[in-house]
Chains A and B, each alone.
Chain A
Amino acid sequence: MSHEKPRMGESAVNADNEKLERELRANMPKLEERLAKLKEAQFVSQELLKLEVSF
């Protein structure tokens, strides 16, 4: 089995990619939380429309 040698700069790119992957994975829960909050903010209840307050 032969192992291809990494080309010049390739290992650095790979290391950067791995770092980026870790970063993205670490931030995924935050993204999910923000999307959930936005989805919740979109909800308009019938109670609001029929709110017993006049303007």
Chain B
Amino acid sequence: MFDLYPYSTSNLFHALSNSFCAPAQISRIIQAQYLASYLSQLGAKTILVECTYIDGDYLDDFASYYVRCWKPYDRFCKRLHFFSESYTAEIIREFVAGGVHDTTPLSNSYLGFVVARPLPQAVIGKTVLKPYESNGRRYYPCTREYNANLFGIPLTVQSLPYQQQDTVLAACATVSLWSCLHMTGGLFATSCPRPATITRMANQVVGDFRPLPSRGLRIEQMCHALRCFDLEPEVVRISKALPLISLMYAYIHMGIPVLLLLEAGGLGHAVAVNGYRLESAQIRTEEVSGGCLPMRGLNVEKFYAHDDAMGPFARLWIKGPGTRPSDKVEVPVVFESNHKDANGAPLQLYPTAVILPVYNKIRLTFLELQMWLECLHFVVKSVWQDMHDLQWDIHLSTVNDFKADIRRSTFRDIASKERILLRAHPRFIWKSTLHSIAKGEVLEILADATDLKDSIPFYHMEIFDSERKATLTTNLQAPNIEKVLKQSITEQFYNCLKNWCTDPSGSISCSLQSSTLK
């Protein structure tokens, strides 16, 4: 059976309600208010409620906890489907069993679903909704295709699962891990465990609190949970020298969500960052006080995160640097979202650390790569002095995605495409492209992300302008320049660059050399 309502905030609250939680109480839940606003922006016109729905994630929670409560919690949920077109019950019946075989209109208007849990407070269960429209600026790389079968009609939505925190089986850390693991499961064929399982695994490391009801996880517990599911946690401490925005961009671009750990109003909070808004012009002049490589982070206006205390794809505005109140550590950026402090002003979210849930073969980190790129930038910026508007676009990629991009490229000629496409590459690649804002792409250099940090990781470089390549080659061959570069960027790296300049294949013949930067 199903119920059908025209979309409105009151109908949404009514559809989410249950015997423990009336619509009036639902209307006071921040996450429900966020959903109402979000669905309005998506253009929802119809709510279809599957009245009896078994949700695997909730069922696991139910078996782990609620079934042993004295109160008779229900094991069945409701599932709310949202459409951007107005439908009547008759039209839906026609689609389901009335002989209308072409369900394309229904599929095209599908916005996703929300599981309504039969609980007193944490009613918003697994939520898989479309992100905001891209508009050419919003990017959601950490989304994948999800199937929802409605009475036999297959519906799909490109999204990442979200749920409200319940602080019984899953606090914010568990929910953020759960969202991240859904995405990495699609990327790396690792598992997508239920929230209760994540909390159990994390608590194999002794924490501050009893495991259930869950009051939260410490960083080492989150790391342990990731290891249990065949991922490697890369923890990055937030310091004033860290180009945090470009770092997050570099991983999210490939579809790896970033677990961002924040200090909010004196408490710890974790969110799963899954997208970003990129402007065509620079928004800030520098990422780190004192300077670092000019990178894409200069153009990122905001991030989007699954925040279990707010909602899916919640905006995270990037503000200037600040000082974390608890330990007085200077941080390169402070975030703001829709959270408000006691005075109704935007709550300041101070980053504490990020955890990057990477596959074990991704070994070379963003910061390690950046050290080599700093050396390369030092050379090219000095040689090509007429270019004052250089910016690096650095991100991880799989070989397949990288080759697909090259095939689609209208910028490269056939010879350049063949050089890249017909050769072998590592499974994971750090792709770094140097752009001139005025002149477009200048240089592309590929690094083997599966390599060791002390080995020069680059294996292919291409300069798109033959005159610039000639200038670089001439300068690298000059004895006085050779001397100073060997001192500054290491002899091995200098030799690599020189060899590459004289090798028309674009391959860098130094992949087996090792060199440690000071």
Contacts and interface: CB of A to CB of B under 8 A. Distances in A.
Contact of A35 (B208, B235, B269, B517): B517
A4 interface: no
Interface string B175-201: 010000000000000000000000000
B207 A17 contact: no
Nearest to A29: B488
**Interface pairs A-B: 8 shortest CB-CB:** A54-B216, A55-B270, A53-B268, A37-B241, A55-B173, A55-B268, A49-B220, A17-B478
B382 A27 contact: yes
Interface string A14-55: 000110110111011011111111111111110011111111
B365 A42 contact: yes
B370 interface: yes
B203 to A, nearest CB: 12
Given A35-B371, A54-B173, A49 B223 contact: yes
7 contacts: A24-B484, A31-B374, A31-B378, A34-B374, A44-B237, A55-B217, A55-B268
A42 B242 CA distance: 9
A55 B237 contact: no
Nearest to A48: B237
B486 to A, nearest CB: 11
B45 interface: no
Contacts of A51: 218-219, 352
A27 B268 CA distance: 41
Nearest to A51: B219
Given A54-B209, A54-B218, A45 B237 contact: yes
Interface residues of A, number: 34
Interface residues of chain A: helix, strand, loop or mixed (majority): helix
A55 B263 CA distance: 9
Interface string B243-256: 00000000000000
A28 B485 CA distance: 9
Contacts of B268: 53-55
Interface of A: 13, 17-18, 20-21, 23-25, 27-28, 30-45, 48-55
Contact of A55 (B171, B375, B481): B171
Contacts of A24: 378-379, 382, 481, 484-485, 488
B94 interface: no
A47 B203 CA distance: 19
Given A20-B383, A32-B518, A49-B219, A44 B236 contact: yes
Contact of B475 (A20, A39, A48, A52): A20
B477 to A, nearest CB: 10
Contacts of A38: 241, 292, 367, 370-371, 374
B480 interface: yes
A13 B215 CA distance: 68
Given A20-B478, A32-B488, A53-B352, 17 more contacts: A20-B382, A20-B383, A24-B481, A27-B378, A30-B291, A31-B374, A38-B367, A39-B371, A44-B235, A50-B220, A51-B218, A53-B268, A53-B326, A54-B218, A55-B216, A55-B268, A55-B269
Interface residues of B, number: 58
A1 to B, nearest CB: 21
A34 to B, nearest CB: 5
Contacts of A32: 488, 518
A31 to B, nearest CB: 5
Contacts of B352: 51, 53
Contacts of A55: 171-173, 176, 216-219, 222, 261, 268-270
A44 B356 CA distance: 13
Contacts of A39: 371
Nearest to A24: B484
Most chain-B Cβ atoms within 10 A of its Cβ — which of A24, A27, A35?
A: A24
B484 A25 contact: yes
A24 B484 CA distance: 7
Contacts of A42: 365, 367-368
A48 B353 contact: yes
B310 to A, nearest CB: 15
Contacts of B290: 33, 37
Contacts of A54: 171, 173, 207-209, 215-218, 268
B292 A34 contact: yes
Contacts of B385: 23
Interface string B19-36: 000000000000000000
Contacts of A33: 290
Contacts of B371: 35, 38-39
Given A25-B484, A54-B207, A40 B219 contact: no
A15 to B, nearest CB: 12
A17 to B, nearest CB: 5
B487 interface: yes
Nearest to B369: A38
